Homo-oligomer: A and B are copies of this chain.
Amino acid sequence: MTHRIAILGASGYTGAELVRLIATHPSMRIVALSGDRKAGMAMAEVFPFLRHLDLPPLQKIDEIDFSGVDLAFCALPHATSQAVIAALPRDLKVVDLSADFRLRDPAEYEKWYGKPHAAPDLQTEAVYGLTEFYRDEIRAARLVAGTGCNAATGQYALRPLIAAGVIDLDDIVIDLKAGVSGAGRSLKENLLHAELSEGTHTYSAGGKHRHLGEFDQEFAKVAGRPVLVQFTPHLLPMNRGILATVYVKGDPATVHATLAAAYGAEPFLQVLPFGALPSTRDIRGSNFVHIGVTGDRMPGRAIVVAVLDNLCKGSSGQAIQNANIMLGEDEAAGLMLAPVFP
């Protein structure tokens, strides 16, 4: 059975990545694409790398006939998804890739995003889209909220450790290194090649990054008590990839065993042998997560390193994985593409 797919916000990087992945998906077919400012253009004009595909032209959202759509991916900018999704047919399956429905608590949303939520009822309905931890809810969901890409990376490193109680919950540092495509196709001076290449710097340091809202929500849920982490992201001169170096207090061998046990059956989560640490280049362009654990010379301290591709497993790949579940397909359908190296 072929599912008819709409992508709202197809002119950004996550939208394009959805098209890339669906291009070889065995049971999804794109029937509508929206891109408000670029409505009327062909995708091949906006993204020439997709020119070999037979795709519908970009439309305005209100021009789309959703009666012929089985599932919509919503890849719109943060804060604009709320109103758009609220206006969609209530029986349409939706996977949202924005930040709008990640936080269940309206107060938390307002705290991190600076204004009240426009669709608090949908906020309650939405299921948090970290697939491996919300499969059952996703299967039953109509609206799934994709996670932050940084938030996903940190959670893959930490959730089983928090759940198992094998680390100190009050002393967790996530030092994260992120490629530039996570910032989207927006025109900002600090995203120019001449500014960014051959250098690195922190951003949103000091407990200010919005993905902390997701860490707080999810880790409290897992631990049954508040868990505050330190989180410092850095921007790196690379296009794709996130590497999170997570400093925890706990026995390294137990930390490794806990992660290996938790993820042993997961198709996309690969725990390396103890002492081996991963590289972003080994998951580039793919839906895989590589996780490594090593000890420190100081007993009782462990370092967990997790890597994923922010556009794929951190965003559009995750979205398709969730959509596969919502549509009753094999969860890995269309997502087993090998990473691209070099």
Chain A residues with a Cβ under 8 A of chain B = 13, 16, 19-20, 23-24, 47-53, 171, 173, 175, 177, 179-181, 185, 187-189, 191-202, 205-208, 212, 228, 230, 232, 234, 236-241, 243, 245, 247, 270, 272, 275, 277-286, 288, 290, 294-298, 301, 303, 305, 311, 336-342
Contact = CB atoms under 8 A, between A and B. Distances in A.
Contacts of A298: 207, 228, 230
A285 B336 CA distance: 15
B199 A280 contact: yes
A277 B202 contact: yes
B336 A24 contact: yes
A270 B52 contact: yes
A23 B206 contact: no
A237 B198 CA distance: 7
B237 A275 contact: no
B342 A195 contact: yes
Contact of A52 (B179, B194, B277, B338): B338
Copies of this chain, whole number? 4
A248 to B, nearest CB: 11
Contacts of A52: 270, 288, 336, 338
A48 B279 contact: yes
Given A192-B191, A200-B177, A234-B243, A49 B185 contact: no
B207 A296 contact: yes
A117 to B, nearest CB: 22
A188 to B, nearest CB: 7
Nearest to A234: B177
A283 B51 CA distance: 10
B193 A49 contact: no
A202 B276 CA distance: 10
Given A24-B24, A338-B20, A338-B23, A279 B201 contact: yes
Given A298-B228, A336-B23, A47 B239 contact: no
Given A198-B240, A277-B201, A295 B341 contact: no
Contact of A191 (B193, B230, B280): B193
B206 A303 contact: yes
Given A51-B282, A197-B237, A202-B305, 7 more contacts: A173-B247, A180-B194, A191-B193, A193-B193, A198-B239, A206-B296, A247-B247
A193 to B, nearest CB: 4
Contacts of A200: 177, 236, 238, 241, 243, 279-280
A52 to B, nearest CB: 6
The residue among A47, A50, A51, A185 with the most chain B CB atoms within 10 A of its own CB is A51
Given A23-B338, A279-B199, A237 B237 contact: yes
